[in-house]
Structures are given as structure tokens and as C-alpha cells.
Amino acid sequence: MSDNSGTRGLWGGLRVAVLALLWGSTFLWTELALRGLSPLQVTLARCVLGALVLFVACYATGHRLPRGVAAWRHIVVAAFFCNALPFALFSMGQQTVDSGLAGVLNATTPLWSIALGLALGSERGLRPVRLAGLLLGFTGTIVIFAPWQTTGATGWGALAILGAAASYAVAFTYMGRTLVRRGTPTISLSAAQLVAASGLTALAVPIGGLESINPGPTVLVAAVVLSVFCTAITFHLTYRIINDEGATNAAVVGYLLPVVSVLLGAVVLGEDLSVRVVLGMAVVLVGVGMTRRRGAAAEAVASPKVGTAGASGGFDAGHAGDNGRWCAFRHSGCAGRRYRHAPRSRSSVDT
């Protein structure tokens, strides 16, 4: 019995580590792809190739894309805020911002989620600790951003990345209210959302997608890895972790992601790792951890099994979670809301 438990724990830890590496490397592969492609071309490649992989996976597993105008209306809105817009903003921002710094700024998404919840009135009774965490997290962002010594180009790039992080927060809120727990298989939602994102991005091709390209081997490999591994394949691994481990355990990836992005940027790309960035990253992560205190406690009390408590959330690349808990995993900080709906059984999670 203990051997089985130890094996499961080892396997679960390995999956978390692999997922943190995949998502943390997103910014590295984006940086490499930008060496031969424009920001819009990188975005289009990511959406189209990711959609192709998930589309094939959807039908290979016996599912189909959602039907109905109402469903697709919500999918298109979610695709804009969760895929097309943030992917483009990250690509534009990384033209002047290092990949490691982009990963750290991306970790502010849960802070934006709480700020949005306060604005919409869905975050009531914000406790002093969580409020302090929110303020501390944004203080860390200012330390990283260093507006007092930032050049114009770098400043606009950082703002674009912060805009992408905020866009994720909007997407997670919207997806939690319109796509989660509607009976549609998660693989169908993710495939449909990336298909919609591909269409939205294609509309902007005349603006910035017709530039000449330099598709060297490094650029092509980066574009494929970014699209297939960092956008599509990780979806299935994510749901297995959430289903098997729960959102609280899976949320550790939200803390590992910026660390991975900073280390990869420094080791692979030779990016400078300043004391200010390290300090700011630590402050942001501490702030995010403080905002999660209520969520972790709520899940511990109300959700000993998978699916009884969670956060409205969705995939970085287009997935609203069956249990509405992805935000706690991808951008730790949004867990803790309780739902009146009965949890889904383990068998309802896509394989």
C-alpha cells in the first residue's frame, strides 16, 4: 500500500515538473520564434498548429466540436481574451522584454483576477491578508518593471505583457461563467476555442502577418514546439493532474513557471539575471501565495475529493476546466470559490 502511494506521489511530482518545464519554456520558444517571424505570425502559428493537434485529438477520442450559435458565441469571446489577444501581446512584448522577465510578469494573472473580481463585485469580504497579498504582488511588479529606469521600447513591451496577463484574468472569469460545467467535453472546448482563435488571428494578417519571414531551423523548431507541446499536448496532462491531484497540489506549477522561465532565459539565451528582477519575482510570488490562503483553506475543508471546490478558470490555450479549477493551477491565486453544482465523477474527465 505504501509502495503504491509512493509510486503515485513520485509520478505526480514528475508530471508537475514536466508541466512546469513545458509552460515555463513557452517564453523561451517565443523568443526563438521571433528571430524569424513577426509577432502576429508567431501567434497565428501557435493557434493554427495547436488547433490542428486538438482537432485531431477531439475526433480521435470520439468527440466533436460544440454545436449551436450560443455556444460558439461564448467560445469566440473566450478565444479572443484567452488566446488571440494574449498570445499576440506576449509576442509583441517579447520583442523588447527578455523571456525570463515575461514569465515573471505573466505570474501576475491571479492578482488581476482578484482585482477584476473586486471591480465586478464577485470578490466580497476580501480579508486583510489577501488584500495585503494583492498590494504586495503589484508592488513586486513595479520593482520588476522599474519605470524610473525603463526605456520607452522596453516599457511598452512590459505593458503589453501585463496586458496579456490581465487578458487571461478576463478570460478565466468569462469562461468560468459561460463555458464551465455546461456538459461539453473539455477536449471539444479546447479544440473549438483554438479554432476560433485561429480565425480571429487570421483577420489581422493584413496588418502584421504579411511581413517577410526567415524560417531557419531554430525558428521552425521553436514554432512547432511552442504550438504543439506548449499549447496543445499539455492540456491532457493538465487535466490528469487536476483530476488525480486536485487544484491545490497542482497550483505549485504557478510558482514554478516564472522560476523556470527566468532560469531558461539566463542559461539558454544568456539573459541578465539582475538582483532587482529576482527580488521582484520573490515579492510577486509571496503576494500571490498570500492571495491564495483562503482558497487553499476552503478546498481543504470543503473539497477532500477532486471536483468539490475550485475556481472559474480556463486554459492558457483555450480550455475551460470541467471542474472550473484551471485558474488555480495555471495562475495560482484564483482557487477557493465554492459551487452549488454537484461535482462530476472521475469518469467524466476526458482521457
Cell of 168: 487571461
The listed range with the strongest mean pLDDT (195-199, 280-284, 289-293) is 195-199
Q: What is the pTM assigned to this prediction?
A: 0.77
Name which of 143-152, 195-204, 246-255 the model is least confident about: 246-255
* Residue position matching grid coordinates 493551477: 329
Residues 6+ apart with CB under 8 A from 224: 49
Strands 337-338 and 309-310: antiparallel
Q: Which pLDDT does position 53 carry in this prediction? A: 95
Q: CA separation (Å) from 54 to 22, 190, 344?
A: 17, 7, 23
CA 266 from chain centre, in angstroms, equals 22
Q: What is the mean pLDDT of residues 272-293?
A: 83
Q: CA separation (Å) from 197 to 4, 33, 76, 210?
A: 42, 19, 7, 18
Q: For residue range 200-229, what is the model confidence (pLDDT) as tens digits? A: 999 998 887 778 887 899 999 999 999 999
Angstrom distance (rounded) from CA 193 to CA 72: 9
* 65, 191 Cβ separation under 8 angstroms: yes
Assess whether pLDDT exceeds 70 at residue 73. yes
Q: Which pLDDT does position 83 carry in this prediction? A: 92
Q: For residue range 87-99, what is the model confidence (pLDDT) as tens digits? A: 999 999 999 999 9
* 282, 309 Cβ separation under 8 angstroms: no
DSSP code per residue over 15-58: HHHHHHHHHHTHHHHHHHHTTTS-HHHHHHHHHHHHHHHHHHHH
Q: Which pLDDT does position 278 carry in this prediction? A: 86
Between 320 and 192, the higher pLDDT residue: 192
Angle at 330 between CA 47 and CA 22, to 5 degrees: 65
* Mean pLDDT, rounded, of the chain: 77
Angstrom distance (rounded) from CA 245 to CA 69: 35
Q: For residue range 249-278, what is the model confidence (pLDDT) as tens digits? A: 555 677 788 889 999 999 999 998 788 888
Q: Which pLDDT does position 47 carry in this prediction? A: 96
